[in-house]
Amino acid sequence: MLLADDEKPDQQKDDADKKTVSRKRGNRLGFWFFKMFIRVSGLYGAYGLLYFVSLYYLVFDKDAVSSARSYIEKRFPESGYFKKYFHIYKLFVSQGRQLIDRFSVVCSKKGAFDIRVNGYDGLANVLNNSDRGAILLTSHLGNWQIALTALNKLGKKVFLLMRKEDNEAVRDFLNVGYEEGDINIISPEQAFGGVIEIMNALGKGHIVSIMGDRRYGAKASKVKFLGDYAYFPFSAFAIAASAQCPIVLLLSAKVSAYEYVVDVTNILYPECSGRKKDIELIPWIQKYASILEDFVNMNPYQCFLFHDIWKDDK
């Protein structure tokens, strides 16, 4: 989320909406309850509880259902009215599982999951042969926080471009913003959207992690995604082009209860020299969108966008 000053009113509106929604979901009592459940009955017990919690959200949380609907309608266009609700329910359960996994990692069960990394050697090679750092492009797919832990052994300093979590309970229980290891936070809610810190980090050969699939009011490029044109922010691609550094796509999929597969095989080198960055960068953004599409075709219930990216909400 890199914003021009004239984009900030939209950002604030988006923030206000997000705050209202995020305050509703996840409170300290709920997290404490899940924590106890994990301790007493293990992961599977907590997963079991999710079927009821997700049903509650499906029936009573119209905002949650509505935010999931745009993706479900694009991913399952052939499904009827009730079938779509069933898909949304499965999506809620899947997201709940990955939050529990994250919670379980925070609760010091670090070895609880097997994390297989595809493309690790290639990534290490790229980083070791470049003094310009790299942008790690994350998405609202799978469990990117767990995926990041798999990259600790690269021995590189990682900077996360992320906003402060609005919901205090979520922040404390999921350890959001207090990542362990050599991980630092750059806030996009500062002058120039944090780009000075980003450029300094890249210039020192560090990794900067940026979310690539939601614009939060920032400028975007229009590319094909799941059969229709969607709006993806182009700022990460523009920064990589200016800094002449690679973009590494980070994807992670939960493949079984205790196993994740992290993929870092896709490395892009965007180029852009003109002012029309939204147009010039389309080939690389389209490539990114196509990779995401392949992912959601293989893992339909691991897309946690919860936003209508097909709508031009600049």
Q: Per CB under 8 A, does 239 bind other proteins?
A: yes
Which listed residue (193, 212, 217, 270) binds other proteins by CB under 8 A? 193
Q: Per CB under 8 A, does 214 bind other proteins?
A: no
What is the residue whose two structure tokens read 């929604």?
21
**CB of 155 or CB of 203, closer to other proteins:** 203
Handedness of CA 69, 89, 16, 148 (dihedral sign): negative
**Token pair of 60, please?**
């009573």
Q: Per CB under 8 A, does 162 bind other proteins?
A: no
**CB of 100 or CB of 208, closer to other proteins:** 208
Q: Per CB under 8 A, does 199 bind other proteins?
A: yes
In the complex, the smallest distance separating the C-beta of residue 272 from other proteins, rounded to whole angstroms, is 10
In the complex, the smallest distance separating the C-beta of residue 70 from other proteins, rounded to whole angstroms, is 27
B/e letters for 167-196, b = 16+ CB within 10 Å, e = fewer, are bebbeebbbbeebeeebebbebeeeebbbe
In the complex, the smallest distance separating the C-beta of residue 193 from other proteins, rounded to whole angstroms, is 4
Which listed residue (155, 203, 227, 283) binds other proteins by CB under 8 A? 203
In the complex, the smallest distance separating the C-beta of residue 101 from other proteins, rounded to whole angstroms, is 34
* Total number of residues that touch other proteins (CB under 8 A): 28
Q: Per CB under 8 A, does 185 bind other proteins?
A: no
Within 253-292, the residues that bind other proteins by CB under 8 A are 273-275, 277
**CB of 207 or CB of 262, closer to other proteins:** 207
Q: Per CB under 8 A, does 130 bind other proteins?
A: no
Q: Per CB under 8 A, does 192 bind other proteins?
A: yes
User: Are 243 and 199 in contact, with CB atoms under 8 Å apart?
Assistant: yes
**CB of 193 or CB of 246, closer to other proteins:** 193
**CB of 203 or CB of 227, closer to other proteins:** 203
Burial degree of 151 (CB within 10 A; 0-12, 13-18, 19+):
buried
Please state, in angstroms and rounded to a whole number, the distance separating the CA atoms of residues 77 and 1.
30
Q: Per CB under 8 A, does 151 bind other proteins?
A: no
Span near other proteins by CB under 8 A; candidates 38-46, 78-86, 236-244, 306-314: 236-244
Q: Per CB under 8 A, does 197 bind other proteins?
A: yes
In the complex, the smallest distance separating the C-beta of residue 137 from other proteins, rounded to whole angstroms, is 16
**Token pair of 154, please?**
């690269």
The contact mask relative to other proteins for 3-32 (x = CB under 8 A, - = no) is xxxxx-------------------------
In the complex, the smallest distance separating the C-beta of residue 231 from other proteins, rounded to whole angstroms, is 16
Q: Which residues bind other proteins (CB under 8 A)?
A: 2-7, 190-200, 203, 219, 235, 238-239, 242-243, 273-275, 277
